């Protein structure tokens, strides 16, 4: 993630917001400071993400970042259920009428 952040920052050299984030993270995280000092750069690709959902538990995704060549400031992120997990079935249940009812909470 640090190497991907470095790539994003390098594409906007005049944006002081990136440097502010680097400064803040380096101050609170020696691990971040060490990784940042390496100077690694990596384009986005597939990442694995996990979310703990309050109703169905752990959801595992393969997250793929796609750059839009005509708009380098835009990135499309696709989240697909992880292979070999029960995430697809959990998502289907959450999208079902029964799952939607389960997620409803009383107002007020």
For the chain, the domains span 1-42, 44-108
What's the pTM value of the predicted model, to 2 decimals? Answer: 0.56
Is pLDDT larger for residue 103 or for residue 30? 30
Please enumerate in sequence order all residues whose Cβ is within 8 A of that of 83, keeping only pairs 6 or more positions apart, or say none: 62
Token pair listed for 31:
């691990």
pLDDT, tens digit (0-9, with 9 covering 90-100), for 68-82: 778 877 888 889 999
Q: What is the mean pLDDT of residues 35-41?
A: 90
> Are 48 and 62 within 8 A, CB to CB?
yes
In Å, what is the CA distance from 85 to each residue of 26, 56, 58, 59?
Answer: 35, 13, 10, 8
């Amino acid at each position: 993630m640090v190497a991907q952040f470095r790539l994003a920052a390098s594409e906007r050299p005049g944006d002081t917001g990136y440097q502010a984030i680097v400064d803040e993270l380096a101050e609170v995280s020696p691990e971040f400071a060490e990784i940042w000092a390496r100077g690694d750069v990596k384009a986005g690709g597939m990442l694995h993400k996990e979310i703990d959902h309050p109703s169905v538990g752990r959801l595992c995704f393969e997250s793929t970042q796609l750059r839009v060549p005509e708009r380098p400031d835009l990135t499309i992120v696709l989240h697909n259920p992880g292979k070999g997990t029960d995430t697809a079935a959990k998502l289907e249940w959450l999208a079902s009428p029964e799952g939607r009812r389960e997620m409803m909470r009383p107002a007020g």
